[in-house]
Amino acid sequence: MTEEECKQIVVKIIADIAPDEDLNDLKDDVRLRDQLDLDSMDFLDIVMELRKQHGIEVPEEDYPKLASLDSCAEYLTPKFLEKQSV
């Protein structure tokens, strides 16, 4: 699992949640909510889809780490790797 693959997973989840958004030129270092029309419920959905689809738990205090694609990759990649190694 590379950071790039991890970003793709997140983008895929966003595409499921918000099929009406254009995700083609998402910038990695800009906060998602500044580029997309996502509200707090949509972020809840991202967290829940990570759990449902990939068994990844994001505790509440870590939610801010999902702010941009870069920060998602930084935070989630180790979690995906950990999952793969068990």
User: Of 38-67, which residues contact another protein (CB under 8 A)?
Assistant: 38-45, 48, 52, 60-61, 63-64, 66-67
Structure-block tokens of residue 49: 């889809």
Closest alpha carbon to 80 in 52, 59, 60, 50: 50
Q: Is 75 in the site for another protein (CB under 8 A)?
A: no
What backbone torsions phi and psi does residue 39 show, to the nearest 5 degrees?
-105, -175
Q: Is 25 in the site for another protein (CB under 8 A)?
A: no
Structure-block tokens of residue 79: 């979690």
Contacts to another protein by CB under 8 A: 16-20, 33, 37-45, 48, 52, 60-61, 63-64, 66-67
